[in-house]
Structure 1
């Protein structure tokens, strides 16, 4: 286990007292990554830094020393501190933010708390994350069968075109009398890894009387300058374990005070649940503080993750490095592949870049195909996420503070080998 310069133990948690580190391969000592593995897929599951893992272990030891004391008394101020730190980062009040297991759980909590009626409409995008899209379908499938309405957006495109498509779609699907409309909007799409103009779409929702549910799974820790007081979505959910460096799994669920009456019950339902007929006001936070025994370490050590990021130089510094590397790395990969980047101007790119793979366009886009690509790339000790979109195969590469341009170069070589093998097998199968 490496040592961390000038680190001190403070209240059982790690604090970092050294100058800002240089980004690149020198940062690998702060992560548990296999040194022979090229990881350009932080966006899927996150990558916990060693200091945060150590903080989790230290907290776990404290919990196990007296589980009753911790779970009955000590956890609450630590949880409140972590919620405050996240609230400060995203421009919210502490009691508008709670933790849930992941973004899918957060979006499900919101959508399943609406009192659906026949004639209500749930808008989703063609690129909505799979489990969320399936949630919308599930809600449509069960009584009272709200309408599921899909907005067709394909990439490459522009923010201006997305805004126009969204406007036209909601105008073409007006609310029926006394019925509601709810829009599920990605802030950053999972695949392709591109930003949506979510703040502008929230404004349109307000003008149209539509509830906005922002699936911001990739935002916190990647999208700098989030201020929910200003953008004012109706709901916003983001994973802290993807880009914020927290231990998986942990997500922030933001519900402004004006909408907390909508969230009648946590999932699972908490002992703090109060029937609406007896409730004097929302008890949003209380329900999520305790809705069954869980390991609170991932939630509480969000504080340590934020301290680690501050030690690295803060959100703007580290995200500038990752963004610049993603832009440069995408161009390098496209040259190696002889293909293109999805977003050549970089307008929709933060720290994830999408590059077309040199694979046959008629290669079946099946689970078996994608699983096969995964296995072949894993065998070469590298990974970036492959996916099929708009008639072509792509890979989404996540740039992180431990990466350098040489990682993209080496990944490109390994992908070329995989693609050549896949193409050979595919041609022989015809």
Structure 2
């Protein structure tokens, strides 16, 4: 069902992205003006009934307030994906030789415009942000192995970096002889200044004993706990401090916060398209700012296109299903059916998730994990301290109990208490808001927690 936002739509200028690529990716011009062959008619704004239909495949018995983990794909995009899959299966050779690369180029062109990159050659399409991290970190590993970086030189990353990216840093940087400095971030967090201060401390530590900071890995939106990081400010600090390369892991960003490559200024930036951009899993982009350093990047899966540049290498890594990478044009059409397009969706999701987070915190007598301006389409909400969440295992048990017994799907974060805290909040729920969510999803979560409190349930009483 649609949220209340959809009851008050106004007509808007439905912006369209136009391409100079036909179905097979060929450039078409007439009198020096680009022409779009077979231009589709302008679509009307999406109705509540249409929206319900687009997400009718969701399990209606579950309050799914966890879009952040796996995203959501509308029925019309699933149908478009199936058409791409059939095109391949009907005539794989024709698809491989004539359709795949031009279609991926069309996707790359769209993304280039959406993220305000200078050149389509700066945009590669990969499976997910974890793959993008491996591409960047692999280059760092080679730099240590080839003597370009000295043993003991440093990579700096946030303490709350995504777990898979932490593992990649361990696999590629630590193993190659680099040091890793983690930025210790507070949580709950009250201001960007707290983050900036800790980041500066980490850079100073990384430069100790004459070593250099070779790589900074900065999240745009941390996953768990979720906080919007002042990425532009941190990138500028890195430039001022002489950090060699800056990689922004923005898995959650496109569709939930502003994404502008010129303003952010990082060397590398990745974001998933299946989390907040309505693509089917899995697809992401990796932006690599044009430079000599970018030429040394390679896909970790070596195939026939090795040496032809990362974008081309990534467009063919062997026989597999590429359909998720090809539906971006259809996704843009879907987005343009909403008032304000993707920016309108982003703004409404932010406003709604903050409203719902504040409602839950008030109902439980707790607090949000950060100020609203440091939230995107996800918010951390404190759970009642009486649950006694005292470990990551407790958090997982509590999450499982909510799913199995109450039909609520929401991630739970364990926050270790600080010394001297009295009756601390150690459990936080990460709630998401996407266009399919309704207020009853959050009331269901509220009532489930109140039920558990009233019945004296604690994590110690839950079975493993």
Q: TM-score, with normalisation over the residues of structure 1?
A: 0.88
- Cα deviation digits, residues 165-190 of structure 1 (max 9, x gap): 21232123217668552111100010
Which position in structure 2 is the counterpart of 1:278? none
Matches of residues 227-376 of structure 1 in structure 2 within 5 Å?
Answer: 227-261=260-294, 263-274=296-307, 283-313=309-339, 314-343=341-370, 345-360=371-386, 362-367=388-393, 369-376=394-401
Residue 412 of structure 2 is aligned with which of 386, 393, 397? 386
Task: Pick which of 382-391 and 37-46 moved more.
Answer: 382-391
Which position in structure 1 is the counterpart of 2:223? 190
Which position in structure 2 is the counterpart of 1:3? none
- Cα deviation digits, residues 215-237 of structure 1 (max 9, x gap): 0000011113x210232101101
* Unmatched tracts of structure 2, length 5 or more: 1-21, 25-37, 145-149, 418-425
Which position in structure 2 is the counterpart of 1:91? 116
**How far apart are the structure 2 equivalents of 1:413 and 1:149?**
42
Size of the aligned set, in residue pairs, is: 408
**How far apart are the structure 1 equivalents of 2:454 and 2:139?**
49
Task: Pick which of 377-386 and 239-248 moved more.
Answer: 377-386
The structure-2 alpha-carbon separation of the partners of 1:428 and 1:372, relative to structure 1 and needing over 3 Å to count, comes to: closer
The answer to whether the 8 Å contact 1:195/1:350 transfers is: yes
Task: Pick which of 38-47 and 174-183 moved more.
Answer: 174-183
CA shift at 1:363, angstroms? 2.9
Q: TM-score, with normalisation over the residues of structure 2?
A: 0.82
* Unmatched tracts of structure 1, length 5 or more: 1-9, 275-281
Which secondary structure does the structure 1 equivalent of 2:136 belong to? helix
Matched, 1:174 2:207: yes
**How far apart are the structure 2 equivalents of 1:366 and 1:295?**
35
CA shift at 1:377, angstroms? 1.7
The structure-2 alpha-carbon separation of the partners of 1:382 and 1:362, relative to structure 1 and needing over 3 Å to count, comes to: closer
The structure-2 alpha-carbon separation of the partners of 1:257 and 1:358, relative to structure 1 and needing over 3 Å to count, comes to: same
**How far apart are the structure 1 equivalents of 2:319 and 2:358?**
47
Matched, 1:155 2:179: no
The structure-2 alpha-carbon separation of the partners of 1:94 and 1:422, relative to structure 1 and needing over 3 Å to count, comes to: farther
**How far apart are the structure 2 equivalents of 1:14 and 1:101?**
29
Which secondary structure does the structure 2 equivalent of 1:181 belong to? strand
CA shift at 1:288, angstroms? 1.4
Please report the RMSD computed on the Cα atoms of aligned residues, expressed in angstroms: 2.6
The structure-2 alpha-carbon separation of the partners of 1:236 and 1:420, relative to structure 1 and needing over 3 Å to count, comes to: farther
Task: Pick which of 81-90 and 412-421 moved more.
Answer: 412-421
Which position in structure 2 is the counterpart of 1:52? 77
The structure-2 alpha-carbon separation of the partners of 1:259 and 1:187, relative to structure 1 and needing over 3 Å to count, comes to: farther
Which position in structure 1 is the counterpart of 2:134? 108
The structure-2 alpha-carbon separation of the partners of 1:160 and 1:26, relative to structure 1 and needing over 3 Å to count, comes to: farther
Which position in structure 2 is the counterpart of 1:223? 257
The answer to whether the 8 Å contact 1:264/1:273 transfers is: no
